[in-house]
Structure 1
Amino acid sequence: MGICASVASEIHDEAYGQENAVCYTEIGNTNGVQVIGSTYSHPGSKGLNQDSAILIQGYGIENGAFCGVFDGHGKNGHIVSKLVRNRLPSLLLNQRNAIAKISASALNTSSSKQGEKVNGESTPSKNFMKWKEAGLSAYKVMDKELKLLDKFDFSCSGTTAVVVMKQGEDLVIANLGDSRAVLGTNSPEGIKAVQLTTDFKPDVPEEAERIRKCKGRVLALKEEPHIQRVWLPNEDSPGLAMSRAFGDFLLKYHGIISIPDISYHHISPNDQFLVLATDGVWDVLNNDQVISIVASANDEEAAAKAVVDASTAAWKRKFPNSKIDDCTVICLFLQKRINMSCS
């Protein structure tokens, strides 16, 4: 389960240790305001748990939050997922602060107002545009930093990164790979699931087209015809099952990219909670099932573990002869149900 601790207002790259799922409060930026959420990670049966997750309270602004889930793969996947988990929050914040200083005057001349509606829909705020620019820059820098780490071989190892930053009533989503973020929102028919990210797998037509233009191959093995993988032009390796990732430098010349898809969501009173999870969860549970589990949890503290427990049970039931994948979940509650803090 995620552990709670406090870190200085300057986020340190190595502050988060070696726990797979962690939850932190940034000192000096909360003024007693509690972000309600939980994190939980459970190893599968394939070996080391290569998943990592982090929930930071007081990120950016006093009621802000940073949620990030990272699914490592390859020989050194457990290393790269923690390196990204430990470094990316500060990279994003530093890039955002630098962009805000440089572009403040230009952004102030914009005619659009925060929360302005066009055709009945909320448009992204000026604050979102700063975060989007920061996200594109930070993800690029993160991948370069990994490549420069001579003591680790990330040629065929990498990680996904699905990140959601809550800043006031704005959600900024930056997605890389096939982990997923889903929103639970009230509707006349009850609580429903709204998927906020795209699973970037090689079978997505636009992703496959880019990979093939770079001479990478996209095809499934006979023994697993339902899984499209990315292969080198003239070798049957490494067989990556996603189209975007940090690391995996052997395939960066053949269409695998570390450019995130960055999107915006304005929180409405109907939006109840957010779930981020690795594909070990989504391979056996659909969006509606996960949202239902979280909505039915005894309290916010127990929500993430409830989803992971249900995922592990579903793996054993659906694929009794297969190795269970690592399962990692973050739940962030956007409307307060009861006074619970990070678990």
Structure 2
Amino acid sequence: MPKFLSGFLPSKWCASANFFRKCFHFTCKMGCIQGKCCRKHAPSSRSDNKEELGLYPGQNAHIIANTSLDVVDVPAHNFRLTYSVLSQRGYYPETPDKENQDSYCVRTNIQGNPNVHFFGVFDGHGLSGTHCSTFVKDRLVEILSTDVALLDDPVKAYSNAFLATNDELHNSGIDDSMSGTTAITALVIGDKLYVANVGDSRAVLAVKEGNRVLAQDLSYDQTPFRKDECERVKLCGARVLSVDQVEGLKDPRIQSWGDEETEGSDPPRLWVQNGMYPGTAFTRSVGDNMAEKIGVVADPEVSTVQLTSSHPFFVVASDGVFEFLPSQTVVDMVNKYADPRDACSAIAGEAYNLWLEHENRTDDITIIIVRIKDLSNV
């Protein structure tokens, strides 16, 4: 089940519980209230633009974008990164020409430094979701690249870049009042990996332990399922309720929703005190100006890892991948393939099929796989 109420719901649409459920079902399934919500966006450069697909001929068709294979060196530590990207538009039976709202960005040699490389996935939502994700994937890396303090304090630079990008989006002319994007990004600086997350996409690192390759999450979904995030938005004035609670089908005083695996079909969401909006099921994003009033922020959580020879690869992907695929399953699938292009295709195909087993549509799916080659422990 999608984790956001894309497009959001004006309170006047929800005078009755039954009508609210109808509105809610439609926006969740379609991702946009009106289906054809975003004008077509012209392709940009190869390295940081999603690959568009044609129309799906049928529900069971699995069509994926072509993947590319690229290599970049990290000379300071004498290793290289081999990476591949795949972005697949979701299948939406009621709106077969709906755009892919995911964007991605790969930028190597940040600030002209051959040891600094950036990988990011941006999952747009709402009526202007495509424009939000495209704007953010362009501006975030540009702001990072111009920060003279990037190498001295990458964590602070990351936070400043996200907040500055958020401010620029608000003033860009794009209507982000009820639209925005999540962002999961990875920055390689020498033999250190910095992951900055806003929202519910994910970055995962593979860790070799003996004969096993284990998944280590480098980001944690920022949703009301997390007690710390739930309490934070409540202090900012948010009501946190599931749709059944908003409709009166469940007791709103029960502020326990289990976990995301078991309660993902009706997750806790954020609402203003006296209205039926915005209905976001995430607590951080870029954009979503209206939701900022109840605690949704663009400040990222940043994790840092010292890379070693025990780390064969990492994955950065939208929640179109991780909605039904656990991190360990994704790592196991990547580990089966020497070529990350093959791994991208296999994971996208499995995620696509699992979506159709559980829903009548699929989400947009975007994945970046980065293999770490020849890194020594010395």
State the Cα distance separating 1:251 from its structure 2 match. Answer: 1.1
* One-letter amino acid of the counterpart of residue 155, structure 2: K
Report the counterpart of residue 345 of structure 2 in structure 1: 305
For residues 277 and 26 of structure 1, do their structure 2 counterparts lie closer, same or farther at Cα, with a shift above 3 Å needed?
Answer: closer
Q: Within 5 Å, which residues of 2 pair with 1:131-210?
A: 131-150=154-173, 152-210=174-232
| 8 Å contact kept, 2:88–2:366 | yes
State the Cα distance separating 1:135 from its structure 2 match. Answer: 0.8
Equivalent position to 2:87, from 27, 38, 41:
41
For residues 186 and 30 of structure 1, do their structure 2 counterparts lie closer, same or farther at Cα, with a shift above 3 Å needed?
Answer: closer
| 8 Å contact kept, 1:157–1:247 | yes
Report the counterpart of residue 111 of structure 1 in structure 2: none
Per-residue CA deviations over 1:319-340 (Å, capped at 9, x if unaligned) read 1x43211111000111259xxx
| Alpha-carbon distance in structure 1 between the residues aligned to 2:71 and 2:175 | 32
Report the counterpart of residue 324 of structure 1 in structure 2: 362
* One-letter amino acid of the counterpart of residue 93, structure 1: S
TM-score, normalization by structure 1: 0.78
Report the counterpart of residue 32 of structure 2 in structure 1: none
Report the counterpart of residue 276 of structure 1 in structure 2: 316
State the Cα distance separating 1:212 from its structure 2 match. Answer: 1.0
Gaps of 5+ in 1: 1-13, 101-126, 338-343
* One-letter amino acid of the counterpart of residue 50, structure 1: Q
| Alpha-carbon distance in structure 1 between the residues aligned to 2:239 and 2:164 | 27
For residues 57 and 18 of structure 1, do their structure 2 counterparts lie closer, same or farther at Cα, with a shift above 3 Å needed?
Answer: closer
Question: Are residue 87 (structure 1) and residue 139 (structure 2) matched?
Answer: yes
Per-residue CA deviations over 1:158-201 (Å, capped at 9, x if unaligned) read 00111110111100111111000001111124111000111101
* One-letter amino acid of the counterpart of residue 345, structure 2: K
Report the counterpart of residue 59 of structure 1 in structure 2: 110
State the Cα distance separating 1:25 from its structure 2 match. Answer: 8.3
State the Cα distance separating 1:246 from its structure 2 match. Answer: 0.3
SS of the aligned residue for 1:275 comes to strand
For residues 270 and 160 of structure 1, do their structure 2 counterparts lie closer, same or farther at Cα, with a shift above 3 Å needed?
Answer: same
Per-residue CA deviations over 1:117-136 (Å, capped at 9, x if unaligned) read xxxxxxxxxx4x61111111
* One-letter amino acid of the counterpart of residue 202, structure 2: R
Report the counterpart of residue 333 of structure 1 in structure 2: 371
SS of the aligned residue for 1:160 comes to strand
For residues 161 and 71 of structure 1, do their structure 2 counterparts lie closer, same or farther at Cα, with a shift above 3 Å needed?
Answer: same
Report the counterpart of residue 284 of structure 2 in structure 1: 244
**CA RMSD in angstroms, aligned pairs only:** 2.8
| 8 Å contact kept, 1:26–1:56 | no
| 8 Å contact kept, 2:121–2:184 | yes
| Alpha-carbon distance in structure 1 between the residues aligned to 2:291 and 2:69 | 34
| Alpha-carbon distance in structure 2 between the residues aligned to 1:84 and 1:290 | 26
| Alpha-carbon distance in structure 2 between the residues aligned to 1:73 and 1:86 | 17
For residues 238 and 322 of structure 1, do their structure 2 counterparts lie closer, same or farther at Cα, with a shift above 3 Å needed?
Answer: farther
Question: Are residue 73 (structure 1) and residue 125 (structure 2) matched?
Answer: yes
Higher mean displacement: 196-205 or 19-28: 19-28
| 8 Å contact kept, 2:79–2:373 | no
For residues 188 and 253 of structure 1, do their structure 2 counterparts lie closer, same or farther at Cα, with a shift above 3 Å needed?
Answer: same
TM-score, normalization by structure 2: 0.71
| 8 Å contact kept, 1:139–1:260 | yes
What is the aligned-residue identity percentage?
29
* One-letter amino acid of the counterpart of residue 313, structure 1: N
| 8 Å contact kept, 2:72–2:80 | no
Count of equivalent residues:
292
* One-letter amino acid of the counterpart of residue 73, structure 1: H
State the Cα distance separating 1:300 from its structure 2 match. Answer: 2.3
Q: Within 5 Å, which residues of 2 pair with 1:118-129?
A: 127=151
Per-residue CA deviations over 1:132-171 (Å, capped at 9, x if unaligned) read 1111111111011001123x21000000111110111100
Report the counterpart of residue 298 of structure 2 in structure 1: 258
| Alpha-carbon distance in structure 2 between the residues aligned to 1:136 and 1:55 | 19
